[in-house]
Structure 1
Amino acid sequence: MNTPTLSTARISIIGAGPGGLTCARILQQHGIAVTVYDRDTDAGSRNQGGSLDLHDDDGQLALREAGLIDEFFALARFEGQEMRMLKPDGQVVSHHIPDADEAVSPEIDRGQLRELLLKSLQPGTIRWGHKLLSVSGDDTSPRILTFGDGTTVESDLVIGADGANSRVRAAISTATPIYTGATFLEAWFNEMDTRHPVLAELVGAGSATASDGDRALFAQRNSGGHMRVYVIQRASVDWIADAGLRPDSSDGIRAHLTAQFAHWSPALLRLITDNDGAYVDRPLFALPVPLSWEHSPNIALLGDAAHLMPPLGVGVNLAMLDASELALAIAAASTIDEAVTAYEATMIPRSSEIAQMLDGGAEMLLDGRAWELGNDNDNGDADED
């Protein structure tokens, strides 16, 4: 197939998460037209999730390429790099206090990062309310995107930044996410310093974790006095129903968890019992390892669409690095096919190596090794799925 030149190519990005928006920003920085399609009705229609640590060797590199690193540093919480590891009895076994100028992995709320990226794009770049249903066509002609509202769009390059359950990936691969055997149960806390001062002191300015090999707690401060706690368990994907409960049965879930964590310290138990509002169940899925697909000259995948892994500090950072490298490959190439080929030559080996290293990573979450790697709590919930 003779792919179109960049001056005439119609480029469509599916998913307005960090990866998709970073790719769009860098393409526009190089004068390349692009349209982003997202299922959300508008930028504020969905909670974007918790806090992210953006690393200086991937996520921050992408923001530098996007010309947004100064804006990121203005928003980032450098104190969020503080990390405490505790035993189930509450004893602190390690405590990292960041230096004043430490910028290895400062924290930023997902919503703040998304807003920063959205504001950097040209007006009209995002087409909200476009839930992708399918990608049809083949390598020899433009791809046809069909959306939930019945509209269709022709595209010379479709970039799948649409998360774990990517509809773009389905056009070139039969792989689907597999349950890892572990689940996150998310709990929210508000007005930490006034309503939850004991927990504010326990967690500090950044994050705190404890594990016993079978279960774990991870608490993470967010901006605006908020905190999120993730109760991590080895359990069936339907563990709530298996316990005779419903997802909205907060009192029943709380009682069930209190029994499961009965041998933990009273202070740590408050991370389970003192939350404000309902729990949110987030079972952890990952794509098979290794994952590859037959090259297509008009489809490219990035982030979770290409390499969904356990949330061990790499998800959003890798998605943004993918996005930067793909955009730069497009800017440097003479044809789309040349760009996709060059991008995949780097992205696929890198992601395969990392995915193999993190295969079975649910066990790392439960025994505490994950927190030595860093964690961005990326469950794919901020990408289109």
Structure 2
Amino acid sequence: MTPAIAIIGAGPSGLLLARLLQHLGDIPSTIFELDPSSSARGQGGTLDIHEESGQRALKRAGLSSEFQKLMRPEGDHLRLADKTGFIHIDEETPGEGRPEIDRAQLRQLLIDSVPAKSIEWSSKVASLQPTPDGRFRIIFANGSEDPRSFDFVVGADGAWSHVRPLVTDVLPFYSGISGVEVRFRDVDKAHPEISKLVGQGSYFCLSDEKAYFGQRQGDGSIRNYAMLRAPESWIDDCGIDFSNPQATKAAMVERYFDDWSEANKDLIRLADEDHVIARKLMMLPADHRWTSRPGVTLMGDAAHVMTPFAGEGVNNAMVDALELAEKVAAALRDGSAGKMQENLAKAVKEYEEGMFARVHGVAQETLQGLAVLFSKNAPLEFKEMMEGFKAGHRDVKQRTKCNIGAPMEQREKMTEKQQIRLNEQLLLYYTQKRWQ
């Protein structure tokens, strides 16, 4: 007997799960997506797809060749500067096997890999209703109810998941970082100096607890994220009219980046006026977990939304899809029909325990990345961290110099557990105390 499986959200993890279930076990699923089509809205910037995680999941799904046609190895190039324009790093980033792909390209690749009829567009899920027999009914935002019942529901519906309340009442909290996203579409012709500054990969400019993150896109355009430490209410209370692109660009430069070099200022003030978006970054606790509930689970941002400062978010979401698909396929292949729900529940619990352990370390690395990128001595601390990557030091203990706060001599004497606790305590300070 094949269970009725619903996947909420047609992002990378939800689509990859559907593909893997079909590819590994000929297991069908239905994906519910709020967008009316794949092209209904922008999908964000560029993603690093790591060999040991995201690429491994794509290979298991039989999609390596399609990915290789779209990936950009040159996207590994990094330029690191400070506000004066001084270049600290101008080279390929440490480690191989991390080519880039635009989020929209990855999503379309995955959409094309599943049966078209398996995606139900314009289906905004509001909640799930448990049934007496242990299944779930889907309630949509317009008040209607899907006539089907599902044996297994996977929440892949992002940071503000409508599936998450079934397993936990924990909500994302503010990371302490806000800012503005801008874009340069015809940048090579209209602004060749900006094209040259960013290059073919990424341009990080870090100073005074503020940052630019410029990224070359697959279509040749450039996105820039101008971010800073700010209170959670900053978007509403800073006095900038974010509905007015021209005024937003001028105010951002005047108020927050006035002492940056003219070339760096241009990365905001010359940006296209049809793409100026205010953003604040949210996250779940690094040790977030829940008690397993039969018939439902989470993955991707629904399970562990984090800031993008370690480049691990989408890669871990793709590993979520791989590990869950493998567990479910094995449970259905090896178990008897009469024990389907029991076998599924066991598979889900095993997946969740593995995911909790795997993601905790990644979340710590992301916290550390945030602390370094937005430190007062950011260019030098980030350069030091990158040199640690070159030496193969990717764990917290081996990069003691990058811990938040604490004098260097104290950091070097800390155990890994003490370092992790320090990072969490100081992030809590930044997000809850600093702006009171």
Structure 1 residues 90, 223: CA separation in 2 closer, same or farther (over 3 Å shift)? same
**Which residue pairs with 1:11 in the alignment?**
5
Structure 1 residue 305: deviation in Å?
0.6
Indicate the SS of the match to 2:117.
coil
1:267 corresponds to: 263
CA distance in 2, matches of 1:241, 1:311: 23
Q: Which runs of 5+ in 1 are unaligned?
A: 1-6, 375-385
State whether residues 2 and 27 of structure 2, in contact with CA within 8 Å, keep that contact through their aligned partners in structure 1.
no
Contact 1:290 1:356 in 2 (8 A): no
* Alignment counterpart, residue 297 of structure 2, candidates 300, 316, 319: 300
CA distance in 2, matches of 1:339, 1:46: 35
Partner of 2:16: 22
Cα separation, 1, equivalents of 2:373 and 2:280: 13
Paired residues for 1:189-228 under 5 Å: 189-228=184-223
Give the alignment partner of residue 170 of structure 1, picking from 157, 165, 173.
165
| Native 8 Å contact 2:179 2:227 kept in 1 | yes
Moved more, 329-338 or 81-90: 329-338
Matched residue, 1:331: 329
* Structure 2 residue aligned with 1:290: 287
Higher relative contact order (CA 8 A, sep 6+): 1
Q: Give the aligned partner of residue 127 of structure 1.
A: 120
Alignment partner, residue 85 of structure 1: 80
Identity of aligned pairs, percent? 37
Give the corresponding residue for 2:98.
105
The two structures have a TM-score, normalised by structure 2, of 0.80
Q: What's the offset of the Cα at 1:132? A: 0.7
Alignment correspondent of 1:179? 174
Decide whether aligned partners of structure 1 residues 330 and 139 sit closer, same or farther in structure 2, where only a CA change above 3 A counts.
farther
Whole-Å separation in 2 of the counterparts to 1:246 and 1:155: 45
* 1:276 shift after superposition: 0.5
Distance 1:338-1:238 versus aligned 2 partners, 3 A rule: same
SS, match of residue 337 in structure 1: helix
- Residues 1:352 and 2:345 are matched in the alignment: no
Q: Does the 8 Å contact 1:90/1:268 carry over to 2?
A: yes
**Within 1, Cα distance between the matches of 2:368 and 2:247?**
30
Give the Cα separation in 2 of the matches to 1:158 and 1:370.
Answer: 41
Which amino acid in structure 2 is aligned with residue 366 of structure 1? F
SS in 1 for 2:75: helix
Change (3 A) 1:370 1:144: farther
Instruction: Give ranges in structure 2 of 5+ residues lacking alignment.
Output: 336-342, 390-436
How far off is 1:364 after superposition?
Answer: 3.2
Offset at residue 234 of structure 1 (A):
0.8
* Cα shift at 1:179: 0.8
What does residue 349 of structure 2 align with? 341
RMSD: 2.0
Amino acid at match of 2:11: G
Quick one: structure 1 residues 159 and 239, their matched pair in 2 at CA, closer, same or farther if it must change by over 3 Å?
same
Determine which structure has more spread, i.e. the larger CA radius of gyration.
2
3-state DSSP of counterpart to 2:134: coil
Instruction: Give the residue type in structure 1 aligned to 2:268.
Output: I
Cα distance, 1:138 vs structure 2 = 6.8
How far residue 76 of structure 1 moved from its aligned partner, in angstroms, is 0.7
What's the offset of the Cα at 1:38? 0.5
